[in-house]
Structure 1
Amino acid sequence: MSNHQIKWVFLLLLALIWGSSFILIELGLGALNPFQLGSLRIVSAAVFLLAIGFRHLPKIPQRQWKFVAMTGLFGNFIPAYFFAIAETEITSSVTAILNSLTPVNALILGTFFFGLTVRRTQAIGVTVGLAGTLVLILSGAMDNPSQNYWFAGFVIVATLCYATNVNLVKKYLSDLSPMTITAGNFAVMLIPASIILAASGYFDVVGQANVQYASLFVVILGILGTGIANVLFYRLIQISSPVFATQVTYLIPVVACVWGIVYGETLTGWQLLGAAIILIGVYLSGRK
């Protein structure tokens, strides 16, 4: 199979894996609280990634460990908990759509804090993306009064964390390989996540059948959705380009919404309109 064919296979696999992450969070929340879920997700991913990437840790210069720690905090640690907290009130489909704001927020933060130059089309894309977010959230709040759409703020903050991570990596860690950065991230996060997992009372209830069932989904989320997906993503960048690889942004909400429908979630016409506006904004903000 040629690289041209392989890159499409990898793109579709990534869309399937990352698009499924949001329903896995929802299934995990069936018996776990957000802190148990977020911690178990990080610990599972850390064990997997360190098992295959621990040899890369000595490649990190001492002066760069602080930036590795920061990218671990913003790129994985905070979002793992915030996505779980958000899905206690809003659906996995809406969460996945809001996650698409990451490229838009990366452009905003890059402009204000990292000296990035923005073109006119990109500025329009940011405005459009934010407008779509308002449509999605406000329409969802009106049509689903039983759900607290203020919790959408946790997703937005998580995407700002992702955006911060991207800019930090680009500015301070561009000389390190992706696997080296990832192994360093999870080496830093493993201990605090383990402490939070223990403090959350997880080990007091892990013997219960429903907790074990929910934990299985979270372990799959950690290993597959974080560990294997990262390896696939970095390989995709190597055999194609960053621009091609980021097209997965458009496919993730589609997969997530299909899973949402399977599990009984619904999106109104206004929410679908908001989703379409957000994706148009993402497309425009990504244009050069």
Structure 2
Amino acid sequence: MTSIRRMPRVSKAEAILILITVLWGGTFLLVQHALTVSGPMFFVGLRFAAAAAIVTLFSMNIMRDLTLLEFKAGVFIGTSIMLGYGLQTIGLQTIPSSQSAFITALYVPCVPLLQWLVLGRRPGLMPSLGIALAFTGLILLSGPEGASLQFSPGEIATIISAVAISAEIILISAYAGKVNVRRVTVVQLATASFLAFLMIVPTGESLPGFSWLLVGSAVGLGAMSAVIQVAMNWAQKSVSPTRATVIYAGEPVWAGIAGRLAGERLPGIALLGAALIVVGVIVSEIKTRTRSEIKAQDSEEDVLQKMD
């Protein structure tokens, strides 16, 4: 038996995750402009290389203390980041963006499942309800045309990318509190960059010529990526993977707002999806209490009444 204990109160760590999700959503248009002068894998590699260099610049005095655990954590998380970005990009070459958005949304219900299987942490009632609302919202945002699946190579690549995004969130939480945030961030960003550059060969991508737009975009988005990854690694020490996932699900909402400011228009069904994601975030923050907690409080109140 559970009951609602109190309305949501956003912690400092959760507020940081909301802020970086806003930042994340705002990068969408910048990436679109950058991809007019570069292939996706080269740009992702350059972006993460810039991010790794920026974090390293502020961490040089502590990098010599890098531990084996931090190196392993950084490689695992960095690999997940690159699989998420890279496979989604590969899938977009053969499937429409609406279908990619629909498939990628599978990471939302996948996270609590992986959290249960890998970390042994069963998600609570309200976070699970928040996940369901956010997932429904993401499906509505992707549009009905994205819901058909034929398991083509592009769709399979995108499904694996959704699992990789889930793994990234789970791995960050699994290692949080055991590693130095800045050191592990340097390793994961460098790993993601290295793997992105490696993927240029199998994808047959041609190298772009020099462009100030490319350089400026890579450095600017690299700085954003540096802030985002450091914040994720820090905040998820106290925010569960399930709750963090619901917050991250708001990224397309902020991307939609940025697009609206740039002149794009969202259909009514997408606006409903955005509203459901926001409701999901709020619902996931509502605390519940178990039967034992209710009984303990009742006993405490009985004692106080007798003392009176």
Give the TM-score taking structure 1 as reference length: 0.69
Whole-Å Cα distance in 2 between the matches of residues 10 and 282 of structure 1? 14
Which residue of 2 is the match for residue 122 of structure 1?
127
Alpha carbons 2:176, 2:234 under 8 Å: kept: no
Among 78, 90, 94, the alignment partner of 2:97 is 90
CA RMSD of aligned residues (A): 4.1
**Matched residue count:** 264
Counterpart-to-counterpart distance in 2, 1:9 and 1:164? 22
Poorly superposed stretches of 4+, deviation over 6 Å: 6-12, 97-101, 150-156, 234-238
Spell out the pairing of 1:164-243 with structure 2 (5 A cutoff). Answer: 164-172=167-175, 174-196=177-199, 200-202=205-207, 205-207=208-210, 209=211, 212-224=212-224, 226-231=225-230, 242=239
The amino acid of 1:90's aligned partner reads: S
Cα deviations by residue, 1:18-65 (Å, 9 ceiling, x for unpaired)? 221111221122222221222222222122222222444343332553
Match of 1:52 in 2: 58
Pair 184,57 (structure 1): closer, same or farther in 2 beyond 3 Å: farther
Query: In the TM superposition, what is the alpha-carbon distance from 1:80 to its structure 2 partner?
Result: 3.2
- Measured in 2, the distance between the counterparts of 1:264 and 1:98 equals 26
Unmatched runs of 5 consecutive residues or more in structure 1: 143-149
Letter of the 1:260 counterpart: G
Partner letter of residue 108 of structure 1? L
> Cα deviation per residue 1:45-89 (whole Å; 9 max; x = unaligned)?
122222222444343332553333111111x22233345557774
AA of the residue aligned to 1:223: A
Once the two structures are superposed, the pairs formed by residues 152-171 of structure 1 within 5 Å of their partners are 157-171=160-174
Aligned to 1:53, the other structure's residue is in SS state coil
Change (3 A) 1:252 1:123: closer
Distance 1:54 1:140, change over 3 A: farther
Range moving further from structure 2, 186-195 or 16-25: 186-195
Q: Highest CA radius of gyration, 1 or 2?
A: 2
Aligned partner of 1:35 in structure 2 is 41
Structure (1/2) with the larger helix percentage? 1
Equivalent position SS for 1:176: coil
Task: Answer yes or no: is the 8 Å Cα contact 1:68–1:185 preserved in 2.
Answer: yes
**Aligned: 1:136 with 2:141:** yes
Structure 1 position 117, deviation (Å): 1.3
Q: Are residues 31 and 14 of structure 1, via their aligned partners in 2, closer, same or farther at CA, if it must alter by over 3 Å?
A: same
Cα distance, 1:153 vs structure 2: 7.9
Q: Deviations over 1:177-208 (max 9, x none)?
A: 21121022134344444444687432xx323x
Q: How far apart are the structure 2 equivalents of 1:177 and 1:156?
A: 31
Who is 1:146 aligned against? none
- Alpha-carbon distance in structure 2 between the residues aligned to 1:285 and 1:86: 31
How many percent of aligned residue pairs carry the same amino acid?
Answer: 19
The farther-off stretch of 55-64 and 45-54 is 55-64
Aligned to 1:67: 73
Residue 122 of structure 2 aligns to a residue in which SS? Answer: coil
Change (3 A) 1:188 1:137: closer
TM-score normalised to structure 2 length: 0.66
The whole-number CA distance in structure 1 between the counterparts of 2:276 and 2:54 is: 37
Q: Report deviation, 1:286.
A: 5.4
Matched position secondary structure for 2:121? coil
Tell me what 1:145 maps to. Answer: none
Q: Which moved more, 1:118-127 or 1:246-255?
A: 246-255
Question: Deviations 1:104-125 (Å, cap 9, x if unpaired)?
Answer: 5422210233211123333333
**1:257 is matched with which residue?**
256
1:142-184: per-residue Cα shift (whole Å, max 9, x none)? 9xxxxxxx97987775454233123223334531121121022
Q: 1:195 to 1:128 in 2, by over 3 A?
A: closer
